[in-house]
C-alpha cells in the first residue's frame, strides 16, 4: 500500500509525496522549504523519512524549495538531465540520479520511472512510482498534449495525479492576452478539463483506485468545474474508486492507495 500526500497544487506551487514502509519520496517542491515543512506537519507527513526528491521540471512552482529541502534532508534529486543542468548551480552539493526513458531509479521500496512530456520547460517529465506489491502512482501535470509515451507510462496504475488545468470556455473569455491564452491551450501549455477527462477515460482499468485532479487554474477553472467535467467520464468508464481535487492553499488529507477489490467504492469525497 502507498499513502499519497498532495500538499498543494496550482500555479503558485506544487508538491506531492508518496510513502510506503516508512520511506517517503517527494514529487516536486514548488513551495519554500519552510512551507513544505509546514504543510507536511499539518497532515502528519514526516519529512525525516524522505529518501529522495523527484523533480518534474525546473519551473519555480515545481522546484523553488528543492535546494533548501535537499540540503536539509540530505536527499538526492531524481530528475532529467536537462532539468539538472538548468538547476545544477543551486544544487551543486546534492546528488543527482538521472531519471527518464532509459533511467529508472530504485529508492527504498520504490521503483521510479519517467517519460518526456510536452511542456515549455527544458526537459520535463511525467513520473510513475511503483512498489513490489503492484501498487503504483503516476504524476502528470504541466503537459500541453498527451503523447504515446505519457499514455504508456500511466497505463495500469493504481492512482493518478493528473493536471486538469482549465475550462476551455473560461480560458477563451478570460482577461489573459491572446498570446497567453494560446500558450496555455497550446502543445507546450496545460491540459484542459475536457482533455483530462478524455485521457482518464482511456486510462481507466479495473485496478484504478484513486484519481486526483491537479494544477487547476485560479482564473480559468474551479474544483466544481473540473469535477463536473471528469466525474461523468469516469463513471461511464466504470470507475469505482475515489476522485479528489487538489487545492492550491491547503493539503488534502492523506490518501491510502491500494488495489481495488470487488466492493463498490464511492466516487469522490
Using CB atoms within 10 A of its CB, is residue 4 exposed (0-12), middle (13-18) or buried (19+)?
buried
Helix (H) or strand (E) holding 72: helix 66-73
What is the residue range of 226's domain? 2-257
Q: Can you tell me whether residue 239 is helix, strand or coil?
A: coil
Q: Can you tell me whether residue 151 is helix, strand or coil?
A: helix
Would you say residue 268 lies in a domain?
Answer: no
pLDDT 10s digits, 20-36: 999 999 999 999 999 99
Cell of 213: 485532479
What is the C-alpha to C-alpha distance for residues 36 and 139, in angstroms, rounded to an integer? 18
Residue 262: which pLDDT band, with cuts at 50, 70 and 90? very low
Would you say residue 99 lies in a domain?
Answer: yes
What is the C-alpha to C-alpha distance for residues 77 and 74, in angstroms, rounded to an integer? 10
pLDDT 10s digits, 138-150: 999 999 899 999 9
Q: Can you tell me whether residue 51 is helix, strand or coil?
A: strand
Would you say residue 126 lies in a domain?
Answer: yes
For residue 170, pLDDT over 60 is answered with: yes
Share of the chain above pLDDT 70, in %: 95
**Number of structural domains in the chain:** 1
Show the beta-strand stretches assigned E in 47-109: 50-54, 77-79, 96-98, 105-107
**Which pLDDT belongs to residue 177?**
95
Task: Answer yes or no: are the C-beta atoms of 29 and 133 closer than 8 Å.
Answer: no
Task: Answer yes or no: are the C-beta atoms of 192 and 220 closer than 8 Å.
Answer: no
Would you say residue 263 lies in a domain?
Answer: no
Mean pLDDT across 71-86: 93
pLDDT 10s digits, 189-229: 899 999 999 999 999 999 999 999 999 999 999 999 999 99
Would you say residue 264 lies in a domain?
Answer: no
Mean pLDDT across 157-166: 97
Would you say residue 40 lies in a domain?
Answer: yes
Would you say residue 269 lies in a domain?
Answer: no
Domain of 12: which CATH number? 3.60.15.10
Would you say residue 171 lies in a domain?
Answer: yes
Amino acid at each position: 500500500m502507498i499513502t499519497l500526500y498532495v500538499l498543494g497544487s496550482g500555479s503558485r506551487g506544487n508538491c506531492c509525496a508518496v510513502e510506503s514502509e516508512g520511506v517517503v519520496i517527494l514529487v516536486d517542491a514548488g513551495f519554500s522549504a519552510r512551507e513544505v515543512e509546514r504543510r507536511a506537519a499539518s497532515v502528519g507527513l514526516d519529512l525525516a523519512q524522505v529518501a529522495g526528491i523527484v523533480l518534474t521540471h525546473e519551473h519555480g512552482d515545481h522546484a523553488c524549495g528543492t535546494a533548501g529541502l535537499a540540503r536539509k534532508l540530505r536527499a538526492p534529486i531524481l530528475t532529467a538531465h536537462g532539468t539538472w543542468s538548468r538547476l545544477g548551480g543551486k544544487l551543486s552539493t546534492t546528488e543527482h540520479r538521472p531519471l527518464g526513458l532509459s533511467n529508472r531509479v530504485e529508492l527504498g521500496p520504490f521503483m521510479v520511472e519517467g517519460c518526456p512530456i510536452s511542456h515549455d520547460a527544458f526537459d520535463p517529465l511525467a513520473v510513475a512510482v511503483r512498489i513490489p506489491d503492484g501498487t503504483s502512482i503516476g504524476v502528470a501535470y504541466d503537459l500541453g498534449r498527451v503523447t504515446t509515451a505519457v499514455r504508456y507510462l500511466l497505463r495500469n496504475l493504481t492512482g493518478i495525479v493528473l493536471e486538469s488545468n482549465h475550462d476551455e470556455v473560461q480560458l477563451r473569455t478570460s482577461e489573459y492576452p491572446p498570446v497567453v491564452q494560446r500558450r496555455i491551450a497550446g502543445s507546450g501549455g496545460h491540459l484542459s478539463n475536457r482533455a483530462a477527462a478524455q485521457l482518464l477515460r482511456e486510462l481507466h482499468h479495473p485496478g484504478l483506485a484513486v484519481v486526483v485532479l491537479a494544477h487547476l487554474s485560479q482564473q480559468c477553472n474551479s474544483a466544481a468545474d473540473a469535477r463536473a467535467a471528469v466525474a461523468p467520464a469516469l463513471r461511464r468508464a466504470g470507475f469505482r474508486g475515489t476522485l479528489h481535487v487538489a487545492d492550491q492553499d491547503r493539503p488534502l488529507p492523506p490518501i491510502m492507495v491500494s488495489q481495488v477489490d470487488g466492493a463498490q467504492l464511492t466516487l469522490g469525497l
